[in-house]
A and B are shown apart, each in its own frame.
Chain A
C-alpha cells in the first residue's frame, strides 16, 4: 500500500524567507506525485504535479518541487515566501499502475509572518 509522510506539521516563516516542505512516500513502483494547497476558507488547489520527465517541476505562484527517486522524496520549495502563501500544503501520491485515487500526507500548515 502507498503512504505519504509530511514531517513538518506547522512551519512559521517571515516574509522573504525560503521554504522547503518535506514529503516522502512509500511505494516500490512508479508513481505520480502532487502538491495541493488549501488557502484559508478555500478549496484544495493543485500547485504542481509530476508524472514523468524532468524531476524538477515548476508550479504556480513560484513553487517548485524536485522528485528524487532514490530518496522517495518530492519536496516542495519556494525561494521567497509571501504572507499570501499562508495555507495548508498537502503532498499526494498515486501509483501509475493502480487506481486513480490519491494517497495524501497529513498536511503542513504554513504561517508566513509579514
Chain B
C-alpha cells in the first residue's frame, strides 16, 4: 500500500508569508495526526482528525495555524503569517485505529527566514 505522503518536502519562506503543507494519508485511515519537531527538541503533537472532524487540537500553538481535512481525505496545515519560531519539521501520520499504530510521512522541513 502507498504510504503517507507529505509535500512539499522542504519549504523556505520569509517571515510574514503564508505556507500550506499537505498530507495524504493511507487510503482508508480515518485517523490523521500532525506533529512538529523544532530543531533539537522533541516531536510535539499538534492535532488529530477523525475523518473530517478535529478530535483534538490541543497542541496547536496559536491561531496562526489552521488545519483542515475536507472530505476526510487529505489534510492541509496552513501557517499565516509565518514567524521565525515556526521553523521545524512537520510530520503527518495516519492510522486505522490507535492499536494498529501510526504510519508517518517523511515530513516537511519548514524554514522561516
Residues of B within 8 A of A (CB): 3-4, 31, 33, 35, 40-45, 48, 55-56, 58-59, 91, 93, 98-99, 101-102, 104-107
Contacts and interface: CB of A to CB of B under 8 A. Distances in A.
B42 A4 contact: yes
B104 A101 contact: no
18 contacts: A36-B104, A43-B3, A43-B104, A43-B107, A44-B93, A46-B101, A92-B43, A99-B55, A100-B48, A100-B55, A101-B45, A101-B48, A101-B59, A104-B43, A104-B44, A106-B41, A106-B42, A107-B42
A99 B35 CA distance: 14
Contact of B33 (A43, A51, A101): A101
B42 A105 contact: yes
A103 B45 contact: yes
Interface of A: 4, 36, 41-46, 49, 51, 90, 92, 94, 99-107
A25 to B, nearest CB: 12
Contacts of A46: 101-102
A8 B48 CA distance: 30
Which of A4, A44, A102 has most B Cβ within 10 Å? A44
